[in-house]
Structure 1
Amino acid sequence: MTQVVDIPAAFRDGFARARLLDAGLAERYARHLSLGDPLADAAVAAAATARQRPWIRIGLDQGLAGLDDAPQALRDLFAHATDVPYWFTQSRTLPGCRAFHGNSRMFLAAFVAGSLVEAYSTLIAKAFITSGRLGDQAGRRFRQNNQLLSEIFLPGGLGEFGEGWKMALRIRLMHARLRLLTARSADWNHEDWGTPLSAAHIAFMNAALSGRLLERARVLGVELFPEERRAFMMIWRMAGHLAGVPAELLPRHEIEAQQLFRIGRMMEPPPEIEGIVLANGLINSAPMAAGVDDPDLRHRLVRQLYGISRGLIGGDLATALHFPETRGMDTLTAIRLRNRADLLLRRHIGFYDRRRRAGQFTQLLDLSFEGLDTGLPQAAAEDELPA
């Protein structure tokens, strides 16, 4: 059994509460707060000493077939990425793809105003900012996360060499790079905070973007069939596998994801300045990332997003993040009513549904790819990873 003394200090009070809810999961989660991603961490270190070839780019484009002469650590990472788990079947993800793209506007609202805000209000934000790589890039992170969504929810996107497969691996390598930078920083306190971007936090993020996102979308009026919800979770389970979530913390279904999110949330300390900055930056950058130039319209959209976020995450967390006071529940009620009317039209008028899906998909692509590069820090994208 994990002892409290083995847990980073910032999480000890929360761990005591979380054990009362689910002792086994709380202990598994706590053990992973001091662990990174051995495969990706070793691959990043190997790439730093083997600059004669762009091995990461070759691996993303060719898989193991192109890595015969690569360092073993890189081969190990891509062997893991190309080994399809027994539980993943591409054809069974299609209902989830259709459900996401049929409701992408509301999923994006729940994603930005709910799941991402909740995830970045944790010590995850401290790791990003301590690394020195975040800067003023909340808008870029908004687009990067949208790109991940758009690509993993395309049919075949998570198959080997699919764009979703590549994006999940790029993000995994980016996390490894940031983990290396943060761990070296004198500003990072390992005894208090554990490993930066720990295996537990990567699992928490996966739970926030899977089961928690489904719950948040439902609050906004998105109604999915059981088959669609199961497919949605399979997509995120595979994305989490590729992104380095340990098998012990990789949810098999929606209920497990929601429980892991609750345990992780309970163990976190109150939001600190880094979480406040990043959470507010996400809200304020969203209209600009969407190409809204008019200042008045941008201000109204930001206020609306703050209202949605307050309604989704609750008043206590919103206040802790210094969000402005808004009528969050009124905003959610109006959105739910509109979405239910929209659902009736979609189910009874086929042309309306097809046109709506096409429009939302185009909008998602615009949000995802405008001004976006590979999603890795430049050095990592070019395999120039100094030790």
Structure 2
Amino acid sequence: MIDAAAIEALKFLGDPPADAVVADLVATGRVGVVNEVLEHFRANDQPIPEQLPDSVREFLVATDDPPAWVDPDRVARAYDFFVDDGVHVASVLTFGAMVNCYAHARASRALTLTHGLNQPHRRLSETSQFVMNMMGRDAFGSGGSFVPTIQKTRLIHAAVRHFLTSSGRWDVAADGVPVCQQDMVGAMLIFSVQVVEGMRRIGISVTEEEAQDYYYVWRAAGAMLGIPVEAMPESVEEARELSAALVEAAYGPSPEGVVLTRHLLDLYEKLFPGKLFDGIVAAMIRQVVNPEVADWMEVPNSKGWARVVRAGTRVVRALERSEDNSALATTILDRAGAILLGGSVRSLTNGQSTTLTIPADLRERWEAEGRSPVPAEADPTPAT
């Protein structure tokens, strides 16, 4: 387990290779040109555009390969887990992970200063796309699209650091660097071990092997994102301990977190017609996150809807126990998650600048098994 001094040091560590690239682009006035070129750089096996500046090309070449320790068999097992339960992962990411991120005052302040308080669709769509690309069949190899996603994410984070530190609105001495490696470790734990915990809270069965493999892929992604590998525990058991010590211990209230959560609630309440079901979203959040976090983020607390959600959780657990033997149970569980993610896709792609693309192999598997979360015509994935 990483010690306290090393964790504190991560607060002042950015991403030196990516930070150097952004500093070069800003100094030479080429940020806009690079953005236009990288917009079309989307596949792992796509040649690096030659018109990019040398600093960008060198960065893309240097960060192109996954860690040598990545085991393809474990990645394949995680892919199978996501094929079976990806819609439920998306549900918990929606109802829990985003709110847990907002419970970090420093991260919420950085989001607010960068994007403003009223763009939950942008953060959610970017995170959803990252997870979708990460969980493709061959995310780190030929045919996938995760490597460019990681590389562009690192450059975006570096741009945020440059913008905030040069704006005079961020106190590095007091708060560390924006989007520091401590924040990155925290986000990795929220989207891996805490998502699995959230799935179990709503009655979804996740085996320890599945939890280990899902965390394993996130650890590999973290290494490619520039997180020091020694800062990420090898086992999911140690990761849970670090999550409690680093992430959950830092949860707390903030004005920015409350407003961001309210906008997220507003976004998802639009998925349900009329006002009758507005309380169900807040109740689902309260089922997935810790009660204290929900209180800090001022998530409405309806005892009636809370009882409905708890009852629904018991039903899901009962269906999970019978899933292997009941086609009806399987259909109910899969459709419940598919409706939510399908609604998310429609909401996030309706007039927004960022669209959610489901990797072709995932879409084909889900369609073949009758559990696609979005109609084919609504998914902008190009034919392959």
Fold shared per TM-score above 0.5: yes
Question: In the alignment, which of 104, 110, 126 is matched to residue 109 of structure 2?
Answer: 126
Deviates more, 1:178-187 or 1:267-276: 267-276
Question: In the alignment, which of 308, 313, 331 is matched to residue 336 of structure 1?
Answer: 313
Distance 1:183 1:208, change over 3 A: same
Q: Deviations over 1:87-130 (max 9, x none)?
A: 22334223322323423343233222222211221110101112
What letter corresponds to residue 349 of structure 1 in structure 2? Answer: S
TM norm structure 2 = 0.78
* Bigger relative contact order, structure 1 or 2 (CA pairs below 8 A, ≥6 apart): 1
Is the counterpart of residue 313 in structure 1 residue 283 in structure 2?
Answer: no
Question: In the alignment, which of 295, 306, 311 is matched to residue 274 of structure 2?
Answer: 295
What letter corresponds to residue 281 of structure 2 in structure 1? Answer: L
The within-5 A match list for 1:372-383 is 373=353
The within-5 A match list for 1:68-83 is 70-83=52-65
Question: In the alignment, which of 162, 178, 199 is matched to residue 217 of structure 1?
Answer: 199
The within-5 A match list for 1:145-184 is 145-159=127-141, 162-184=144-166
Per the alignment, residue 369 of structure 2 pairs with: none
Per the alignment, residue 300 of structure 2 pairs with: 324
The separation in 1 between residues aligned to 2:145 and 2:342, in whole angstroms, is: 13
Distance 1:71 1:25, change over 3 A: farther
Question: In the alignment, which of 235, 240, 249 is matched to residue 258 of structure 1?
Answer: 240
Shift of the alpha carbon at 1:55? 5.4
1:139/1:286 contact within 8 Å kept: no
The separation in 2 between residues aligned to 1:222 and 1:167, in whole angstroms, is: 29
Distance 1:205 1:34, change over 3 A: same
1:311/1:331 contact within 8 Å kept: no
The separation in 1 between residues aligned to 2:23 and 2:314, in whole angstroms, is: 52
Shift of the alpha carbon at 1:155? 1.3
Shift of the alpha carbon at 1:202? 1.1
The separation in 2 between residues aligned to 1:235 and 1:36, in whole angstroms, is: 22
Cα-Cα RMSD = 3.2
Shift of the alpha carbon at 1:231? 1.9
2:201/2:287 contact within 8 Å kept: no
Distance 1:140 1:364, change over 3 A: same
Question: In the alignment, which of 17, 20, 39 is matched to residue 39 of structure 1?
Answer: 17
1:29/1:200 contact within 8 Å kept: yes
The separation in 2 between residues aligned to 1:112 and 1:128, in whole angstroms, is: 17
What letter corresponds to residue 113 of structure 2 in structure 1? Answer: T
Per the alignment, residue 347 of structure 1 pairs with: 324
Q: Deviations over 1:60-97 (max 9, x none)?
A: 55779536675454244323432221222334223322
Deviates more, 1:26-35 or 1:137-146: 137-146
Identity among equivalent positions (%) equals: 20
Deviates more, 1:86-95 or 1:175-184: 86-95
Counterpart of 1:103 in 2: which secondary structure?
helix
Per the alignment, residue 238 of structure 1 pairs with: 220
Shift of the alpha carbon at 1:31? 0.3
Per the alignment, residue 3 of structure 2 pairs with: 25
The separation in 2 between residues aligned to 1:365 and 1:150, in whole angstroms, is: 13
The separation in 1 between residues aligned to 2:194 and 2:92, in whole angstroms, is: 9
2:22/2:155 contact within 8 Å kept: yes
1:130/1:185 contact within 8 Å kept: no
Shift of the alpha carbon at 1:198? 0.8
Unmatched 5+ residue regions in structure 2?
356-384
Per the alignment, residue 88 of structure 1 pairs with: 70
The separation in 2 between residues aligned to 1:58 and 1:338, in whole angstroms, is: 45
Q: Deviations over 1:209-266 (max 9, x none)?
A: 0111111111111112333222211221222223332222223232232222222235
Deviates more, 1:204-213 or 1:246-255: 246-255
The separation in 1 between residues aligned to 2:285 and 2:217, in whole angstroms, is: 25
The separation in 1 between residues aligned to 2:291 and 2:343, in whole angstroms, is: 32
Paired residues, number? 347
What letter corresponds to residue 311 of structure 1 in structure 2? Answer: Q
Distance 1:224 1:304, change over 3 A: same
2:233/2:239 contact within 8 Å kept: yes
Per the alignment, residue 126 of structure 2 pairs with: 144
TM norm structure 1 = 0.77
Shift of the alpha carbon at 1:188? 1.5
The separation in 1 between residues aligned to 2:138 and 2:335, in whole angstroms, is: 18
The separation in 2 between residues aligned to 1:52 and 1:322, in whole angstroms, is: 42
What letter corresponds to residue 204 of structure 1 in structure 2? Answer: G
Per the alignment, residue 370 of structure 1 pairs with: 349
1:212/1:257 contact within 8 Å kept: no
Distance 1:63 1:96, change over 3 A: closer
Counterpart of 1:34 in 2: which secondary structure?
coil
Unmatched 5+ residue regions in structure 1?
1-21, 376-387
